Amino acid sequence: MQLNPYAKLGHMLFQLDRQEHLAMSVVQIFPRTEEETAALALPVSPAAPPEAAMTSSEKPALAPTPVAAEPLPASEPYPLDRAFHAMLARFTGGISPLALSLAWLDWSSHLAAAPQRQMEISRNILRDTGRLAEAVAHATSPEQKPWSVIQPQSRDRRFSGPQWETAPFNLLAQAFLLGERWWHDATTGVRGVSHANEAIVEFSIRQMLDMLAPSNFAATNPKVLEKAFQSGGENFVFGWQNWCSDLMRLLSNAKLTDDAQFVVGKTVAASPGKVVYRNELIELIQYHPTTAQVRPEPILIVPAWIMKYYILDLSPQNSLVKYLTGQGFTVFAISWRNPDARDRDLAFDDYRKLGVMAALDMIGLIVVGRKIHALGYCLGGTLLSIAAAAMERDGDNRLGTVTLLAAQTDFTEAGELTLFINESQVAFLEDMMWQRGYLDTTQMAGAFQLLRSNELIWSRLSHDYLMGEVAPPNDLMAWNADATRLPYRMHSEYLRKLFLNNDLAGGRYHVGGRSVSLSDIHAPMFVVGTLADHVAPWRSVYKIHYQVDADVTFLLTSGGHNAGVVAPPEEAGHSYQVLTKAEDAPYVGPDEWLKLAPHVEGSWWPEWTNWLAARSGAPCDPPQIGVGDAADLPDAPGNYVHT
């Protein structure tokens, strides 16, 4: 019997599939049975770290304990490829080499096809070289002033001080800065290169140049040489001791919070309170009132789970929690449990259900019938905005106000973090997390350090190891070192749905099987951006203005992602701008906003608490601490903060 061409094709593919045992069929004409698929799956099991040190009595009592990670399901595609990528990630620091290669190929090929651009770059090199040569020729002239060819940018502290104004060090610094400028010109503005690839190439070149700065080497750093002559080389001995101390801390996995100066529950995260609710993901802390009467509407703090919750409850002198209770507010805060390999399948929406919604339900039992002021910080703010939109969609009006601190709801301009976010990089990260079940703390910390490598890596190298000095640790540094892990599924969904696809801003994000829109939010909003934020640029945070149908008070404060938020009134050097846009008022762009918003010296905390007070009821007696069996739960800061 004569077979038609389609039948022949199917027959050939089927024979090829049976002979070579391919993982996936090219044309799924003959689907495999479960037995065949299982036989093809490689027996790769994710490595599980030791469990967090918790006694059986401390395990969550209100929900089942997460089940340990099972071997890779048969439906997982290409397990050998994923295992290879996970192994490769150990040598690349979690950065996809293919993503870098594609970016460099895009840039180099377009530059090679742009002869006029090449000529322009060459002319700049010849011009700058001539000016530098002239400066070298007149280096000993008394009329020759330092930085005659190029000056460091105002935020560049590597070449600060009079030592860098003398020859030959000044000439070395100028030569380096000229090289930096040349490479910046060469890697940017090449016609045809995608914006994302251009940013990757420019960023990677900047990292390599930062490493080669003359300030990083003893022989070319006049401050180090001066210190060596003054101390007889003692600075190098102290630098060696500092290096050994850091190495021992790294090998022992010690934290700054292990130091007696910064102990969680004693010197940091020390505001008095009690855990009033616990499930497998959160502990809800209710803080004790410090005033005779409090506002009837409580405050719920939803922190990011990328780091520990106590960024807003550091030392007593800079604790936002302590400040709020002192202003007569009842404060609740979520403390997230640090996940491990058993939690690999925790979804992003689980953080909404087990975190925000569970906390709101418990607060509703403690403070009955009252609106709640919800505050979300960083990723916690993104989660809170999703929860608020879903609640409004479903007719749940428990939120009285919504406050977002350095939180993004549109990720099209999400700062330099987007350098690590593209399809190739996300797939590489997913393969790395697939083997472990989570994103390790070192990957996240390394990404943040690269964003500010001058301040966080190379300046510290020069200060600690070459100068032989040690910067005194502070509570913010201790908190920053107390990092957490991120579950495989949650982080994958976060990167794909929010960063890559920008589903939330596009109205495509689903909660409960239905899409949510930020335009459903009608509760008054107080949104804080920080001027020098590398994680959540304030212009990206500002986009909330045209996403919600609500009164939006936007405040732009000095400082960065953390230091700008932790701004106690007693601390000098803070300033901010603030302006309110009514729900029905026309949109004002960020540049116009900068011109219109009044400038205020001081901390933004009083501005916010006054805003909250204007939207709260008259003071009344404080509510009870917890309900039901809360007496069996620990005092603040709880147990999860130690995991």
Alpha helices in 260-377 (DSSP H): 320-326, 348-351, 358-366
Picking from 378, 380, 370, 364, the residue whose alpha carbon sits closest to that of residue 401 is 370
Amino acid at 312: L
Alpha carbon distance 362, 91 (integer Å):
45
326-342 burial string, b = 16+ CB within 10 Å, else e? ebbbbbbbbbbbbbbbb
User: Which residues are CB-neighbours of 435 under 8 A, at least 6 positions away?
Assistant: 44, 46, 47, 82, 83, 86
Element (H, E) at 206: helix 195-211
- Nearest-10 Cα torsion for 474, 480, 481, 486: 170
The burial of 476, by beta-carbon neighbours within 10 Å (0-12 exposed, 13-18 middle, 19 or more buried), is given as: middle
- Nearest-10 Cα torsion for 110, 116, 117, 119: 130
Structure tokens that stand for 411 in this block:
């990720």
Give Cα separations from 246 to 147, 239, 584 (angstroms): 36, 11, 56
The verdict on whether omega for the bond into residue 162 sits within 30 degrees of 0, i.e. cis, is: no
Residue of 378, 383, 386, 528 with catalytic role: 378
Picking from 327, 276, 268, the residue whose alpha carbon sits closest to that of residue 635 is 276
Give Cα separations from 316 to 135, 412, 566, 569 (angstroms): 53, 37, 12, 13
Alpha carbon distance 279, 343 (integer Å):
14
Active-site residue 378, yes or no?
A: yes
User: Which residues are CB-neighbours of 4 under 8 A, at least 6 positions away?
Assistant: none
Contact 215, 158 (CB under 8 A): yes
Alpha carbon distance 643, 308 (integer Å):
10
Q: Interhelix angle for 97-112 vs 423-436, to 10°? A: 170
Contact 298, 367 (CB under 8 A): yes
Alpha carbon distance 490, 496 (integer Å):
10
Please give the radius of gyration of the chain, using alpha carbons only, rounded to the nearest integer.
28
Structure tokens that stand for 112 in this block:
């090679």
Tell me how crowded residue 21 is: count the other CB atoms within 10 A of its CB. Answer: 9
Alpha carbon distance 144, 142 (integer Å):
5
Structure tokens that stand for 286 in this block:
């209710």
**Enzyme catalytic residues:** 378
